[in-house]
Amino acid sequence: MSEPHEQVFFEVFEALPRQGPGSRECTARALALCRGLPARPAILDLGCGAGAQTLDLASLTDGTVDALDTHAPFIARLAREVAARGLQERVRPAVGDMARPPCVPHGLDLIWCEGAAYFLGIENALRTWRPWLRPGGFLAFTEVVWLRADPPGELRAFWTKEYPQITDAATHLATAARCGYQVAGHFTLPASAWWTDFYTPMEARVRELRLAHAADARATTALDAIQAEIDLHRRFGAWYSYEFFVLRAA
């Protein structure tokens, strides 16, 4: 049985178009950095959530996309969407762990991971996935990074508590080199990638659930915490963002 705060968390996230910052435009821009992909690339989308970027990858390529997430309701939602779009031949959603997939992949052209590599730790993820790529294959992932070295105390305190591993893009690029990758390119997600399909619908969902859970103090506390994170980004979004990293197996 899930903790009450976990239930509220999923009630919020399952209703959103995507489960992290991102956009079709950013996915397309990162994909364009994967120069020389075959006509039908074999793609593995890790921590796919409800699959916003999975479906974008399917429409932006003629390849196959295996999409993996541990949260079964996300995979069920993606599977319904795949069926509705008639994509079953090319897009295969599955419940599974991106550290230990049901069958160990090999010879992949492209591994994709928007906003989920941090669950494994970036260096661990890069080392785990490297053998799954063919020589010259690509890994594209997003990760939160500091944009400035002088974060206000309140912001630093938040990240120290929530994710002390937060660092800057240069540190990740050095890690990538150590783990056997070349850098094909990288870029910072624009503000719109945080708001349009993520924080704006999240705020609306939080408002909706406040009414539904008005008598439940623990649910209200959980919703307060989600709203606080949104407010923090509204005030301090100039200090941190997501970076899209596109790496090539050297």
Ligand X SMILES: C[S@@+](CC[C@H](N)C(=O)[O-])C[C@H]1O[C@@H](n2cnc3c(N)ncnc32)[C@H](O)[C@@H]1O
Asked whether position 97 contacts ligand X by CB under 6 A, the answer is yes
Q: Could you give the CA distance from residue 240 to residue 91 in angstroms, rounded to a whole number?
A: 33
Closer Cβ to ligand X, 100 or 161, answer by number: 100
Q: Hey, what are 198's tokens?
A: 């993520």
Closer residue to ligand X in complex, CB, 51/137 = 51
Residue 216 binding ligand X, by CB under 6 A: no
Instruction: Tell whether residue 93 is a contact of ligand X (CB under 6 A).
Output: no
| Nearest CB to ligand X, comparing residues 177 and 229 | 229
> Does 41 help bind ligand X (rule: CB under 6 A)?
no
The per-residue DSSP string of the chain comes to: ---HHHHHHHHHHTTSS-SSS--HHHHHHHHHTSTT--SS-EEEEES-TT-HHHHHHHHH-SSEEEEEES-HHHHHHHHHHHHHTT-TTTEEEEE--SSS-SS---SEEEEEESS-GGGT-HHHHHHHHGGGEEEEEEEEEEEEEES-S---HHHHHHHHHH-TT-EEHHHHHHHHHHTTEEEEEEEEPPHHHHIIIIIHHHHHHHHHHHHHTTT-HHHHHHHHHHHHHHHHHHHHTTTEEEEEEEEEE-
Contact window for ligand X (CB under 6 A) among 64-72, 81-89, 221-229, 234-242: 64-72
Q: Which of 8, 42, 43, 98 binds ligand X (CB under 6 A)?
A: 98
- 200 or 220: CB nearest ligand X: 200
Residue 240 in contact with ligand X, rule: CB under 6 A? no
Q: How far apart are CA 234 and CA 135, in angstroms?
A: 41
> By C-beta, is 17 or 150 nearer to ligand X?
17
Fill in the per-residue mask, 135 to 154: x = in contact with ligand X (CB under 6 A), - = not in contact.
Answer: --------------------
Choosing from 42, 58, 68, 223, the residue that interacts with ligand X (CB under 6 A) is: 68
Contacting residue, 77, 81, 119, 232, with ligand X by CB under 6 A: 119
Q: How far is the CB of 55 from ligand X (least distance, A)?
A: 11
Nearest CA-CA partner of 54 in 86, 79, 37: 79
Q: Which is nearer to ligand X, 50 or 169 (CB)?
A: 50
Does residue 65 interact with ligand X by CB under 6 A? no
Question: Applying CB under 6 A, which of residues 8, 11, 12, 18 lies at the interface with ligand X?
Answer: 18
Residue 37 C-beta: closest distance to ligand X, Å? 20
The Cα–Cα gap between 198 and 29 comes to 19
Residue 130: CA count within 13 A, CB half-sphere: 19
Q: Which is nearer to ligand X, 4 or 201 (CB)?
A: 201
**Which residues in this chain contact ligand X in the complex, by CB under 6 A?**
18-20, 22, 47-49, 52-53, 68-71, 74, 97-99, 114-116, 119
